[in-house]
Amino acid sequence: MIIKFTKMEGCGNDYVYIDGISQSIPKEEKPELVRKLSDRHFGIGGDGVIFINDSGIADFEMEMYNADGSRGEMCGNGIRCVGKYVYDYGLTDSTQIAVESFGKIKYLTLYPENGKIARVKVNMGPAILEASQIPVLYNETEGKKIELGDGTKISCAVIDAPLEIGANTYKVTCVSMGNPHAVLFVDNEKELPLTQIGPLFENHVRFPNRINTEFVRVIDEGHVSMRVWERGTGETLACGTGCCAVGVACVLGGKTSGKVLVDVLGGQLEIEWDEANNNVWMTGPARTVFEGTVDTALF
């Protein structure tokens, strides 16, 4: 099978994008195809593969897979690139679109420059803070009862809660942005041995669906820096949903204001959490790297 693809990235978080509207690939074949295409030595290379499909409930569907072939619920950097793809390739002429991912709809504002999309703002929806819904295995005696500005009552929010990793105990704040995140604050994120400790967080027994982990250093009340270990992929240059989770965790921990710049290894994202309405906004770049075709018979 000859497949047309486009390689795209948002802050260095790179995926292989495939138009699933014009190219039909059986669902059962996708995990193995994803693993092969994502391989940086023997394939195209990327943090995963994203199929852009028709949707019955939105303008388009984003079907996102991690590099190991596992399905992901949401990808913030990926969805910005989906917005760029559908506009740049003429699948839409609108700069306001809705994209479905894992049954949930996100709303995108596209910003053209010279006829192409350069930046995208995404309404990422509400932050999920109830432990059982993230999901993380903390009970009500370990979590906190909080009430958000919109009146939402959380019976078990995991905020600065202890997590034992080997001989060490870390304090984590857990947030779901459609996928689960554990955020912890550190003095120096640059020197952390992520390849050693990242898998220990990802596969910890408290995280039944595994976890994405953000290691965050606060610079000032409007600026932080982070590294991220993504489940199913490893360390990446950026994670859009992770940056959103960081923005929420910073407010919950009294670290920053509700609007924060998040430095990642691949660039910078603007995050704003409107706590009064429990709505998270993410703004950042999207870029096409190259396009081509691949013959799956060669794998």
Query: Which residues, 6+ apart, have CB-to-CB distance to 277 below 8 Å?
Result: 149, 150
**Distance between first and last Cα of the chain:** 11
The residue among 228, 291, 299 whose CA lies nearest residue 264 is: 228
Distance from C-alpha of 292 to C-alpha of 5, rounded to nearest angstrom: 6
Taking the CA atoms of 199, 201, 207 and 211 in sequence, report the sign of the dihedral they define.
negative
Contact between 273 and 243 (Cβ < 8 Å): no
Six-digit token pair at 235?
Answer: 């360390």
- The pLDDT of residue 268: 97
Residue whose pair of structure tokens reads 């409107």 in the numeric block? 274
The single-letter code of the amino acid at 32 is E
Measure CA 174 to chain center: 14
pLDDT per residue rounded down to tens, the chain (299 residues): 899 999 999 999 999 999 999 999 999 999 999 999 999 999 999 999 999 999 999 999 999 999 999 999 999 999 999 999 999 999 999 999 999 999 999 999 999 999 999 999 999 999 999 999 999 999 999 999 999 888 889 999 999 999 999 899 999 999 999 999 999 999 999 999 999 999 999 999 999 999 999 999 999 999 999 999 999 999 999 999 999 999 999 999 999 999 999 999 999 999 999 988 899 999 999 999 999 999 988 87
Contact 88, 288 (CB under 8 A): yes
Q: Are strands 212-220 and 180-185 parallel, antiparallel or unpaired?
A: parallel
CA gap 208, 204 in Å, rounded = 8
Note the pLDDT of residue 144.
97
Strands 60-66 and 153-157: unpaired
Domains and CATH numbers, the chain: 2-122+285-298 (3.10.310.10), 131-277 (3.10.310.10)
Q: Tell me, what's the pLDDT at 274?
A: 92
Comparing CA positions, the residue from 188, 287, 201, 185 lying closest to residue 245 is 185
Q: Which of 92, 75, 74 is nearest to 83 (CA)?
A: 92
Which of 201, 193, 191 lies closest to 231, judged by CA? Answer: 201
Rounded distance between C-alpha atoms, residue 288 and residue 299, angstroms: 25
The answer to whether residues 207 and 131 touch, using CB atoms and an 8 Å cutoff, is: no
Catalytic residues: 75, 239
Q: Which of 281, 292, 290 is nearest to 79 (CA)?
A: 281
Beta-carbon contacts of 176 under 8 Å, excluding residues fewer than 6 positions away, are 127, 128, 129, 133, 134, 245
3-class DSSP state of 130: strand
The whole-number pLDDT of residue 298 equals: 80
The amino acid that residue 7 corresponds to is K
- 55, 61 contact by CB (below 8 A): yes
